[in-house]
């Protein structure tokens, strides 16, 4: 395992982290024995960074992690999050504090290293949006806003560092928050299916969200970066492009919307050329991400131990050769072979 700085926090974290969300499902839906085995194996492999949220399994992810960490007697570096709901907009600071205090009880901890706002940054708050409610700069930074709650938690010693997630974010709004210098850690969507956080959107590529170079924006202010969904919900794998079914533990929007999942698999298939003996597609996909210097950690979302081990095997690998990067560019320019047919939906 190789290690990287988490921005300017002073923390050194494994460049493969453990994502504990619904999409993979191991921590949420695995048996107690499977959860202990998974965390034990992660620690053996050198993983020291775990990313969770009260939204994952409606609190089950945090509850299960708390039990496992106590059983094993370990205290890794932990990020959890806060989702502000539409009925909480009149007291965002209070909602943030109450959410984190409940998370700490589930985790059986007095404090966590990082707390992120899960709601995506946007120019205007949108309570009617699908998924997490986008919130504005003023919602984050204004009187009674999310930052006020986060700052109080930090003063009380319940978190060390602050951040926000950028899934489905409007890039200008996220960049504006980064420019304040008060957020030390962000989560970003950056993968072969949507590379726009790290490279300028190629001509011809259609995406639902153009993340417009957020990795460089983070690097400019010394913010650490965790990459979410590096395998695009499991579609950027040899198993998926060969027609394999989603893992029984896998959940989230792609399980609820199998048509979207199959559409994404179809868009992943043009990258099958990256698979070769000794290096499956999923490993190449992670090598692509790790080559960007702004990345602190890639959040593996395993459904079973073999997937966790496969992700860790990516650590320290060489960047993809220029010939493969050129072919990747051609896939993007052809919009995954769909030309101008549209882009895949974010769920």
pLDDT digits (tens, 9 = 90+) for 119-152: 999 999 988 887 789 999 999 999 999 999 999 9
Q: Is the pLDDT of residue 347 over 50?
A: no
| Any domain includes 72 | yes
Q: Is the pLDDT of residue 6 over 50?
A: yes
Decide: 84 and 38 in contact? Cβ < 8 Å: no
The 10s digit of each residue's pLDDT in 81-116 is 999 999 999 999 999 999 999 999 999 999 999 999
Would you call 186 helix, strand, or coil by DSSP?
strand
| Any domain includes 340 | no
What per-residue confidence (pLDDT) applies to 91? 95
| Any domain includes 347 | no
Total domains, the chain: 1
Strands 12-14 and 3-5: antiparallel
CA neighbours within 13 Å on the CB side: how many for 298?
A: 30
| Any domain includes 115 | yes
Q: What is the mean pLDDT of residues 189-199?
A: 97
CA neighbours within 13 Å on the CB side: how many for 294?
A: 22
User: Can you give the residue range of the structural domain that contains 46?
Assistant: 3-333
| Any domain includes 73 | yes
Percent pLDDT > 70 in the chain is: 97
The 10s digit of each residue's pLDDT in 163-185 is 999 999 999 999 999 999 999 99
What per-residue confidence (pLDDT) applies to 340? 59
Q: What is the mean pLDDT of residues 322-337?
A: 96
- The domain that holds 313 is classified in CATH as 3.20.20.100
Would you call 123 helix, strand, or coil by DSSP?
coil
Would you call 149 helix, strand, or coil by DSSP?
helix
What per-residue confidence (pLDDT) applies to 339? 61
DSSP string, 207-262: -S---TTHHHHHHHTT-EEEEE-TTTTTTSSHHHHTTPPPPTT--SHHHH-HHHHH
Q: Is the pLDDT of residue 240 over 50?
A: yes
Rounded Cα distance between 82 and 257, Å, is 25
E strands present in the chain = 3-5, 12-14, 16-19, 49-51, 77-82, 112-117, 159-165, 185-189, 224-228, 297-300
**Residue 341: pLDDT band with limits 50, 70, 90:** low
Rounded Cα distance between 174 and 179, Å, is 9
| Any domain includes 235 | yes
CA neighbours within 13 Å on the CB side: how many for 48?
A: 15
Average pLDDT value over all residues in the chain: 94
Q: Is the pLDDT of residue 65 over 70?
A: yes
Site of tokens 């890039």: 171
Percent pLDDT > 90 in the chain is: 90
What per-residue confidence (pLDDT) applies to 344? 47
Number of residues assigned to the chain: 347
| Any domain includes 209 | yes
| Any domain includes 341 | no
């Amino acid at each position: 395992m190789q290690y990287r700085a988490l921005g300017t926090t002073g923390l050194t974290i494994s460049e493969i982290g453990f994502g504990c969300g619904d999409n993979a499902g191991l921590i949420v839906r695995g048996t107690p024995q499977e959860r202990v085995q998974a965390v034990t194996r992660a620690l053996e492999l050198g993983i020291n960074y775990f990313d969770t949220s009260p939204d994952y399994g409606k609190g089950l992810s945090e509850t299960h992690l708390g039990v496992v960490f106590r059983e094993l007697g370990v205290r890794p570096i932990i990020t959890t999050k806060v989702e502000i709901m539409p009925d909480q907009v009149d007291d965002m600071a209070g909602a943030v504090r109450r959410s984190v205090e409940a998370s700490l009880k589930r985790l059986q901890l007095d404090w966590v290293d990082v707390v992120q706002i899960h709601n995506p940054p946007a120019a205007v708050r949108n309570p009617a949006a699908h998924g997490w409610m986008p919130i504005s700069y003023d919602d984050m930074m204004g009187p009674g806003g999310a930052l006020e709650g986060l700052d109080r938690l930090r003063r009380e010693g319940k978190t060390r560092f602050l951040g926000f997630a950028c899934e489905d974010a409007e890039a200008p709004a996220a960049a504006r928050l980064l420019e304040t210098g008060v957020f030390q850690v962000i989560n970003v969507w950056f993968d072969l299916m949507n590379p726009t956080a790290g490279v300028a959107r190629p001509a011809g590529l259609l995406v639902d969200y153009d993340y417009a170079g957020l990795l460089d924006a983070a690097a400019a202010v010394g913010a650490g970066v965790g990459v979410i969904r590096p395998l695009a919900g499991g579609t950027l794998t040899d198993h998926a492009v060969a027609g394999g079914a989603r893992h029984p533990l896998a959940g989230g929007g792609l399980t609820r919307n199998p048509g979207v999942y199959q559409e994404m698999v179809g868009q992943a298939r043009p990258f099958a050329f990256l698979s070769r003996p000794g290096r499956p597609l999923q490993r190449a996909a992670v090598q692509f991400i790790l080559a960007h210097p702004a990345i602190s950690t890639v959040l593996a979302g395993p459904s079973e131990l073999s997937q966790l081990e496969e992700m860790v095997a990516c650590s320290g690998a060489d960047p993809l050769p220029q010939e493969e990067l050129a072919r990747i560019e051609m896939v993007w320019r052809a919009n995954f072979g769909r030309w101008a047919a549209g882009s895949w939906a974010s769920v």
